[in-house]
Amino acid sequence: LGGIAVQRNLPKEVQLKVNRALRASVQYAFDHPDAALPFIRRHAQEMDEEVMYQHIGLYVNDFTLELGELGRRAIDTLYRVAREH
């Protein structure tokens, strides 16, 4: 559904700094799931808390912190298909 990318032409140290900040933010969200509830409630279409957590669990997963080989292959495939069309 979404992704965050850093421009390749930025200095490597800037890329790494952005990566560390984003990783820390996502890790905090994993460690403190209730911290985001006020924001989620303001913007959610579904107000039932259980449904909100189900959606979060569906879209925020192990790939959120680390794509791994499978995730990288998926991104490469998406990029290749987009360029072909």
- Condensed to tens digits (0 to 9), the pLDDT of residues 10-69 reads 999 999 999 999 999 989 988 998 888 888 889 888 778 888 888 888 888 888 888 899
Give domain status of residue 4, yes or no: no
Give domain status of residue 17, yes or no: yes
Report how far apart the first and last C-alpha atoms of the chain are (Å, whole number): 20
Domain extent for 47 = 12-84
Q: Is the model's pTM score more than 0.85?
A: no
Give domain status of residue 31, yes or no: yes
Instruction: Give how many domains the chain has, as a whole number.
Output: 1
CA distance 45 to 6: 30
Read off the pLDDT band of 1 (50, 70, 90): low
Give domain status of residue 1, yes or no: no
- Residue 22: give its domain's CATH number: 3.40.190.10
DSSP string covering the chain: -------TTS-HHHHHHHHHHHHHHHHHHHH-GGGGHHHHHHH-S---HHHHHHHHHHHSSHHHH--HHHHHHHHHHHHHHHHH-
